[in-house]
Amino acid sequence: MKILTFLLLFSTAIFAQTDLEARRQGIERLTSSDPEAAFKEISAIAVEHKNADEKTKAKIESTMALVMIYMADLEGAEKKNDWSFSVHSKSGEAQELARNYFSKALIAERRSDYVHSIDFFLKTITYAEKSKQFTLLQKSNRGLAMSYCDQRDYNKALDFINKSLSYQKQKPDPMQQAYSLAAKGEIYRLKGDLKIANQYLKEAHDTFEKAGNEHGRAWVLTNWAICHENNLLEYARMALEAQEIWDKVAPENTMSIVNLGNIGYNFMVMARDSAMVTKGQPDLPQGKAALVGASERYYKRALALARKKKNWNAVIYQTHNLAALHYMNADYKSAYDNLNITLRLNDSIFSQQNKNKIAALESEKKILLRDEKIRLDQIRLENHQKQRWYLFGGLALLACIGVLLFRQNQNRKNHNQRLLSLNNELDQANKVKTRFFSILNHDLRRPVYNLIHYLQLQKESPELLDADSKERIEGQTLQSAENLLASMEDLLLWSKGQMEHFEPSAKAVAVGSVFLDLQHHFESESAVSLHFENPENITITTDGDYLKTILRNLIGNAIKAMEGQPNATIWVKSFSNHKRPVITVCDNGKGIQAEQYKALYDENEVVGIGTGLGFHLIRDLAKAIGTTVSVESNSGEGTTFTLTFN
């Protein structure tokens, strides 16, 4: 009963963790498009699990930190993520550490702390690779691409964005692909290749629009607008449309800050170069003064948000543009003050020292991976040892039952297999016995009968035999006895062939010598004209005894089939065909039906036609020496047996 209770509790805990993970993944997908809704969902989960263990709470806090980053609450996100990270560092869960490092990277990136953002993105990739979190790998590589993009290292940015897109093969995700395509378009824009940039940005925008992802659309429009610097009205239209979305879904988002600055820049350029461009556009400021005022308002709004979120890269951009605006408006003191702030921050963020630190982080990545692997392996080993004892108790009973059932089933299978094997052996023995008796009946009776007939004739009516007849019959009788001996040898050879480990002995055999033996064997057959042809003096690597037996039986069968036929003739020929030895046995008899030589191809047929050991012997011996036997027979035109040697 205790074991059952333990198993139920264990199963419930597993299902609860699985459900929590599924909900967290859903929130992570929702975060970028609707952070407010994502925050409500994760807050509800936190209430549900207020009495949960520390590890569960750490997972919830990790997801909440990610949501708060997208809500631009970097301080709150950092606090929650740091606590979650401290818990996961103890357990060494690669999946959770990857999430914590990703949040750390996002926070550092939004603060323009590129040294730490790149460091944390690299660590995210390390742990995400271990836990096979392909979506996080896409995001992390995209984050690295944007960090290098902000550092003006566009080649490295392209390398990482292409790597981000490559993970689509492992886990296709249209939204992640669209964000990466948009980032790739932005990189090409900064490189000055607007044609390619427009292609990627349009593809990303169409994907987001089709999916109803307003956050994604605003993200693309923010970058896409800048591609239209030569068309200020289109620039303004896109940027204002993007800001309308940002103000609804994420007014303090990093890209919202960027877009506010873009609108300010657009109005500043309009005021400087073509104040009349907005004429007839009621939604846009009219005249230079209105454009300058609108530009300053958007710059200051962007600057206030950038300072609030400690996004120093955005602060540099906005103060630099404000300096340009004040200079254009002849407010030189304000221009100087803003330019001074820009230079000071720029030296801090983009200093050579920081670039060297970033390079060092990349070169040390392998060392970090090694040390982290050793540490994680040690933690994992300790955890596995603890978990093993917990699992043993719950699984022991199930394992015992499983083993018993398996053994019972295996024993039954073994018994059935043994019975089947014995039945097959018995069936094979019966077949061999049947063949043996068929051979005795089919091939040994005739020569014995001829011998007995002669002895009876000599005993009972010796006066009927004159000297010539006596000599002739004695010769025939002797030949029959020799044929009987040859048949007995064939029978012995075939019997050996039925033995389990019997192998034919292959060696070079001159076909001419085989033909001489056959000619001598059949010289008493006066009713048939027998011709042997070997123009190429062929030599075959095979078992000579097997070959003689096969040919002897084919010739014997042909002689038997043509008994009483006038001008009966048999031709035995050897030649080469495509460098393969071939021997044919042809006769001019009446031909045979396919049913009669079925035994050549069907092991269930045991008796052949005519004399000799029958087609079953020919079949077995030919198979043993790797020879193919084919038959061609036409009614009234004779039969040809062809032996083709491999």
Q: Tell me the pLDDT tens digit for each residue of 59-97.
A: 889 898 988 888 878 889 899 889 989 989 888 888 889
Find tokens 């300072």 and name the residue. 307
Q: Looking at per-residue confidence, does 8 or 85 come out higher?
A: 85
Range of weakest confidence among 36-50, 174-188, 597-611, 619-633? 597-611
- Say if CB 590 and CB 635 are below 8 A apart: yes
CB-based burial label for 406 (10 Å; 0-12, 13-18, 19+): exposed
The total number of residues shown for the chain amounts to: 646
Closest CA to 612 of 564, 550, 523, 568: 550
Percent of the chain past pLDDT 70, that is, above it, reads: 82
DSSP per-residue letters across 74-109:
HHHHHHHHHHHHHHHHHHT-HHHHHHHHHHHHHHHH
Q: Looking at per-residue confidence, does 504 or 515 come out higher?
A: 515
Closest CA to 166 of 143, 134, 190: 134
- Residue 146: strand, helix, or coil: helix
Count other C-beta atoms under 10 Å from residue 551's C-beta.
Answer: 22
d(CA 229, CA 30): 33
What pLDDT does residue 371 have? 58
Across 24-38, 385-399, 474-488, 622-636, the highest mean pLDDT is recorded for 622-636
What pLDDT does residue 466 have? 74
d(CA 102, CA 109): 10
Q: What is the phi-psi region of residue 177: left when phi exceeds 0, alpha when psi lies from -120 to 50, beta otherwise? A: alpha
Model confidence over 114-127: pLDDT tens digits? 788 888 988 988 89
- Say if CB 270 and CB 291 are below 8 A apart: yes
> What is the DSSP code (8-state) at residue 533?
E
Helices (H), 214-275: 214-226, 232-249, 254-273
Q: Is pLDDT above 70 for 8?
A: no
Confidence category of residue 581, pLDDT binned at 50, 70, 90: very high
> What is the DSSP code (8-state) at residue 284?
S
Range of weakest confidence among 109-113, 136-140, 391-395, 559-563? 391-395
DSSP per-residue letters across 597-639:
GGGGT-TT----SSSSS-HHHHHHHHHHTTEEEEEEEETTTEE
CA 216 to chain centre: 33
DSSP per-residue letters across 555-568:
HHHHHHHTTT-TT-
Across 103-112, 368-377, 634-643, the highest mean pLDDT is recorded for 634-643
For 24-28, what is the mean pLDDT?
Answer: 86
What pLDDT does residue 1 have? 47
Confidence category of residue 366, pLDDT binned at 50, 70, 90: low
Q: Is pLDDT above 80 for 6?
A: no
Find tokens 């454009």 and name the residue. 291
For 97-118, what is the mean pLDDT?
Answer: 86
Range of weakest confidence among 29-33, 117-121, 276-280, 462-466? 462-466
Strands 539-542 and 569-577: unpaired
Model confidence over 436-457: pLDDT tens digits? 566 555 566 666 766 777 777 6
d(CA 349, CA 355): 9
What pLDDT does residue 611 have? 40
Q: Which two tokens stand for residue 219?
A: 């993200």
Closest CA to 201 of 225, 165, 230, 237: 225
For 624-628, what is the mean pLDDT?
Answer: 89
Alpha carbons within 13 A on the beta-carbon side of 578: 3
What pLDDT does residue 494 have? 60
**Amino acid identity, residue 100?**
N
Model confidence over 247-292: pLDDT tens digits? 888 888 888 888 888 888 888 888 887 767 777 777 888 888 888 8
Tell me the CA distances in angstroms from 48 to 30, 52, 83, one per residue in order: 20, 9, 20
Find tokens 């708060």 and name the residue. 68
- Say if CB 267 and CB 302 are below 8 A apart: no
Q: Which two tokens stand for residue 250?
A: 């994420």
What pLDDT does residue 16 have? 52
Q: What is the phi-psi region of residue 3: left when phi exceeds 0, alpha when psi lies from -120 to 50, beta otherwise? A: alpha
Percent of the chain past pLDDT 90, that is, above it, reads: 17
d(CA 386, CA 370): 25
- Say if CB 144 and CB 155 are below 8 A apart: no
- Residue 546: strand, helix, or coil: helix
Range of weakest confidence among 145-154, 268-277, 353-362, 614-623? 353-362
**Amino acid identity, residue 32?**
S
Strands 529-533 and 569-577: parallel
- Say if CB 528 and CB 569 are below 8 A apart: yes
Contacts by 350-358, CB closer than 8 A, 24 or more apart = 350/151, 354/114, 354/115, 355/151, 357/115, 358/114, 358/115, 358/118, 358/151
Closest CA to 621 of 433, 491, 532: 491
Count other C-beta atoms under 10 Å from residue 592's C-beta.
Answer: 19
What pLDDT does residue 644 have? 95
Beta bridge partners of 580: 577
Q: Looking at per-residue confidence, does 65 or 15 come out higher?
A: 65
Range of weakest confidence among 426-435, 453-462, 499-508, 616-625? 426-435
State the average pLDDT for the chain: 80
Q: What is the C-alpha R_g of the chain?
A: 48
What pLDDT does residue 441 have? 59
Confidence category of residue 14, pLDDT binned at 50, 70, 90: very low
What pLDDT does residue 616 have? 75
Q: Which two tokens stand for residue 37?
A: 């809704």
For 615-626, what is the mean pLDDT?
Answer: 84
- Residue 528: strand, helix, or coil: coil
Q: Is pLDDT above 50 for 10?
A: no
